[in-house]
Amino acid sequence: MKEYTGYTAHFGKSDKGKTILIPWFTDFLSPFIPAIAELAGYRFVNCPRTSKTSAEIGLRYGNNEVCYPATLVLGDLLAELQSGKYDLDNAAVAITQTGGQCRATNYLAMIKQGLKNAGFEKIPTIAVTLGSGAIQNEQEGFKLPILKIFNIGINALLFGDMLNQMFASAVVREKTKGNSQQLFDFYMKQGVEIILQNKPEKFLELLKNTVSDFNKIDFFEDKKIEKIGLLGEIFVKYNSYGQAHITDWLRARNMEVVVPPIFDFFIQSFVNQEVNAQNGISRISRFTKMLMPLLLKFLEKRVGKFDKIFENYRFYEKNESIFAKAKYASEILDLSNQFGEGWLIAGEVASFARRNINRVICVQPFGCIANHVVAKGIERRLKQFYPKMNLLYLDIDGGMAEVNLHNRLHFLIKE
Ligand code: SF4
């Protein structure tokens, strides 16, 4: 590994028209991102789904002490740049930057070193952030017009979560293999069209049609299906390769894999801000104090509208509010534990237990100190509160033996 000696390619104003590659995240959200970016005036292109090649290339050119998602993200980007499909003088790469306490805030330095190691040091990098701007990155040519994309982005997110939930419950019960996947793909494409038209209201109509079509699937009525919760680090939880395809493995054994909505990850900041202000960790400005309740009201109203339609789905189950999850979590740990998935892990385990889902897998990537500390740290206390809960912590990385992973899963589903 060469020593990092600075990175001079910046995304300037003249780079606005460049093709911006982004790593694949998850099937129910990634296809929407280029469409949202197009509204914002940028040409984003998704890398293909994360694969073994991503892991190998990420390890070859990256720093192998970073967390596993960082390796995969770097590998996705480098594999695409090496594919020969792009005019490298007109290409850039982008990743999200959380701005929080996890390493994702500092991925960019590692990505730049990886780009340099692979000979792509002329490729500008972008940090996509919803907060107060990029950290440690010069990108004067990139600015997200939040007001323009906020409404459509929220609607797309809610729709994606609900579509994913319908798919997860339908795919294990369908009589004709492939029905649910067909509907999933069709409605994702419809979602992209709505985004490009920038018509958020149309998502409600789309959800109505989606629910109606999923209800029409011919299901096995007497098949014994058990639910299993899957939570943990955001990337490995929602990215099929990142989680070593354990969802497929479980589905093949008649388990319905239930994941918490990704929407919760974003709106936890309503809880976090309040907690941090109370604990003297950060201040809330007067403007934010005024804005937050309005924003919350808007979001709650929107969720209510989506939920009213979603209730008509045959296997509908209500998702508890982020405030309910925070309350359950506060019985287990202090809510200032906000690194990685932080207190969300406790809140989601509790929420699963209250829905009588007592087998839960918590996936944790190699090198993710944040999630290991929180998740392992609360294990005993969770067991005291929820004695029936059977929790399996799975460490995920590129070098793990599949047979070990499946062995552990076998024990969980047989108990
Ligand atoms: S939560 Fe953990 S695995 Fe995910 S980006 Fe942060 S440090 Fe890496």
Q: Which atom of ligand 1 is nearest to the CA of 364?
A: 3
Q: Assess whether 20 and 116 both reside in one domain.
A: yes
Q: Assess whether 265 and 390 both reside in one domain.
A: yes
The token pair at 45 is 């292109």
| Average of per-residue pLDDT across 380-394 | 95
Q: Per mean pLDDT, which range of 4-13, 89-98, 130-139, 197-206 is the poorest?
A: 130-139
In a domain, 397, yes or no: yes
Nearest 5°: phi and psi at 172?
-85, -5
In a domain, 158, yes or no: no
CA atoms within 13 A on the CB side of 197: 11
* Range of the structural domain that residue 58 is part of: 13-140
| Average of per-residue pLDDT across 232-251 | 96
Q: Residue 251: which of 167, 184, 179 has the closest Cα? A: 167
| Average of per-residue pLDDT across 369-386 | 90
Q: Residue 216: which of 165, 157, 176 has the closest Cα? A: 176
In a domain, 183, yes or no: no
Task: Please tell me the predicted confidence (pLDDT) of residue 160.
Answer: 98
DSSP calls for 68-80: HHHHHHHHHHHHH
Task: Among 123, 140, 157, identify where a domain stops.
Answer: 140
Q: Assess whether 134 and 226 both reside in one domain.
A: no
Q: Which atom of ligand 1 is nearest to the CA of 340?
A: 1
Q: Assess whether 292 and 404 both reside in one domain.
A: yes
Q: Which atom of ligand 1 is nearest to the CA of 368?
A: 2
- What are the tens digits of pLDDT across the range 288-335? 889 999 999 999 999 999 999 999 999 999 999 999 999 999 999 999
- What are the tens digits of pLDDT across the range 185-218? 999 999 999 999 999 999 999 999 999 999 999 9
| Average of per-residue pLDDT across 247-253 | 97
Task: Please tell me the predicted confidence (pLDDT) of residue 131.
Answer: 67
Q: Assess whether 405 and 269 both reside in one domain.
A: yes
- What are the tens digits of pLDDT across the range 78-127? 999 999 999 999 999 999 887 677 777 778 888 999 999 999 999 999 99
Q: What is the pTM of this model?
A: 0.95
Residue located via tokens 């020593």: 3
pLDDT surpassing 60 at residue 69: yes
In a domain, 285, yes or no: yes
CATH at 68: 3.40.50
Distance (Å, whole) CA 26 – CA 167: 14
The token pair at 7 is 């990175």
Cβ atoms 122, 49 nearer than 8 A? no
Q: Assess whether 285 and 396 both reside in one domain.
A: yes
Q: Assess whether 250 and 347 both reside in one domain.
A: yes
In a domain, 147, yes or no: no
What is the share, in percent, of the chain residues with pLDDT greater than 90?
A: 82
Q: Assess whether 250 and 398 both reside in one domain.
A: yes
Q: For the chain, what is the domain count?
A: 2
State the distance from the centre of ligand 1 to the C-alpha of 231, rounded, in angstroms: 14
For ligand 1, pick from 343, 368, 372, 394 the residue to mutate: most ligand atoms within 8 Å of CB: 368
pLDDT surpassing 70 at residue 132: no
Task: Please tell me the predicted confidence (pLDDT) of residue 63.
Answer: 81
State the distance from the centre of ligand 1 to the C-alpha of 98, rounded, in angstroms: 10
Q: Per mean pLDDT, which range of 41-45, 198-202, 369-373 is the poorest?
A: 369-373
State the distance from the centre of ligand 1 to the C-alpha of 302, rounded, in angstroms: 30
In a domain, 165, yes or no: no
Give Dmax (Cα) for the chain: 63
Task: Please tell me the predicted confidence (pLDDT) of residue 201.
Answer: 97
In a domain, 212, yes or no: no
Task: Please tell me the predicted confidence (pLDDT) of residue 415.
Answer: 66
pLDDT surpassing 70 at residue 392: yes
2 pLDDT band, cuts 50/70/90, is low
Average pLDDT, the chain: 93
Task: Among 91, 117, 140, identify where a domain stops.
Answer: 140
64 pLDDT band, cuts 50/70/90, is confident
Residue/partner pairs of 136-141 with CB below 8 Å, 24 or more apart: 136/106, 136/108, 136/109, 137/97, 137/108, 138/10, 138/11, 139/10, 139/11, 140/10, 140/11, 140/12, 140/13, 141/11, 141/12, 141/13, 141/14, 141/15, 141/16
Three-state DSSP class for 320?
coil
Q: Which atom of ligand 1 is nearest to the CA of 103?
A: 7
State the distance from the centre of ligand 1 to the C-alpha of 96, rounded, in angstroms: 12
State the distance from the centre of ligand 1 to the C-alpha of 361, rounded, in angstroms: 17
Task: Among 86, 110, 140, identify where a domain stops.
Answer: 140
State the distance from the centre of ligand 1 to the C-alpha of 209, rounded, in angstroms: 36
Task: Please tell me the predicted confidence (pLDDT) of residue 130.
Answer: 74
Q: Assess whether 301 and 404 both reside in one domain.
A: yes
DSSP calls for 238-286: H-TTTTTTHHHHHHTTTEEEE---HHHHHHHHHHHHHHHHHTTSS---H
The token pair at 260 is 């918490």
In a domain, 154, yes or no: no
For ligand 1, pick from 26, 63, 72, 102 the residue to mutate: most ligand atoms within 8 Å of CB: 102
Q: Assess whether 242 and 124 both reside in one domain.
A: no
The token pair at 405 is 């992973």
Q: Which residues line ligand 1 (CB under 6 A)?
A: 67, 69-70, 102-104, 233, 235, 340, 365, 368, 370-371
pLDDT surpassing 90 at residue 408: yes
277 pLDDT band, cuts 50/70/90, is very high
Residue/partner pairs of 126-132 with CB below 8 Å, 24 or more apart: 126/11, 126/20, 126/92, 126/93, 126/94, 126/95, 127/94, 127/95, 127/96, 127/97, 128/22, 128/94, 128/95, 128/96, 128/97, 129/96, 129/97, 129/98, 129/99, 131/99, 132/99
Per-residue CA distances from 15 to 90, 111, 123, 135, 401 (Å) = 8, 19, 10, 19, 43
Q: Assess whether 249 and 376 both reside in one domain.
A: yes
Task: Please tell me the predicted confidence (pLDDT) of residue 371.
Answer: 83
- What are the tens digits of pLDDT across the range 157-174? 999 999 999 999 999 999
Q: Assess whether 105 and 230 both reside in one domain.
A: no
